[in-house]
Amino acid sequence: MKKLNGKLKHNIAVFISGRGSNLKSIIKYSLKQNSYYTVKEVISNKQRAKGLIIAKKKNINNHFINFTKSKQLGNKVLSILKKNNIKLVCLAGFMKILPSYFIKSYNGKIINIHPSLLPKYKGLDTHKRVIANKEKYTGCTVHHVNVYLDSGRIILQKKVRITKKDTAKSIEKKVLKIEHKIYPKAINKVLTNL
């Protein structure tokens, strides 16, 4: 653990697959005085993920890992996490289902952000389904990861109102904005309870 401004900070790893806007907000918050964490490792299952460039620019260790090769996952990822004393793995737009042995080996220490008000709209294409069902509200949820899809214990959730003018695209924007606010706070919350 690193000491910053007289405070102990836990090392976290962020797993991504693409754009990395949540990664960016997590890094930004980590530099604030009231954050309990340092982003030590960024891991992507996609070689061309834009989020890897964000990590590089911030001088954060970053790796592309082929998650379909179980040896790479079992040996490489777990050894990166152990070597760097990673206290929490944060999935941020990570679009791959982790194998159950991996989830169990980091038991209770993996969290995810999902763009809906869980337990509603688990899985993909949440915004399209929300519009099709004429929902009045949607939002995002940070939750613990267990072996069932989008089903672990909820840590934080935030709602946004859907107007008649909204489309799946405009909702994606609205929801992303609140994701950026709640994910760093949820990370802090989990780390204070470790």
Enumerate binding residues for ligand GAR (CB under 6 A).
Answer: 16, 18-22, 92-93, 113-115, 176, 179
Q: Is 4 or 160 the residue whose CB approaches ligand GAR more closely?
A: 160
Tell me, what DSSP letter sits at residue 20? -
Q: Are 37 and 30 in contact (CB under 8 A)?
A: yes
Cα(122)–Cα(50) distance, integer angstroms: 25
| Chain centre to alpha carbon of residue 20 | 10
Least distance between ligand GAR and beta carbon 110 (Å)? 13
Tell me whether residue 35 or residue 141 sits nearer to ligand GAR (CB atom).
141
- Which of 10, 114, 143, 180 does the annotation list as catalytic? 114
Residues 13, 92 contacting (CB under 8 angstroms): no
Token pair of 148 as six digits: 């069932």
Q: CB of 70: closest distance to ligand GAR in angstroms?
A: 21
Give least dist CB 99 to ligand GAR, A. Answer: 16
For ligand GAR, which is the closer residue by CB, 40 or 114? Answer: 114
Q: How far is CA 21 from CA 10, 92, 131, in A?
A: 22, 9, 23
Nearest-CB residue for ligand GAR: 93
Q: Where are the beta strands (DSSP E) in the chain?
A: 2-4, 7-16, 37-44, 61-64, 86-91, 110-114, 137-144, 154-161
Q: Which residue, 87 or 114, has its beta carbon nearer to ligand GAR? A: 114
Supply the minimum distance, in Å, between the C-beta of residue 94 and ligand GAR: 7
> 114 catalytic, yes or no?
yes
DSSP letters along 81-101, please?
Answer: HHHTTEEEEEESS--SPPPHH
Active site residues: 114
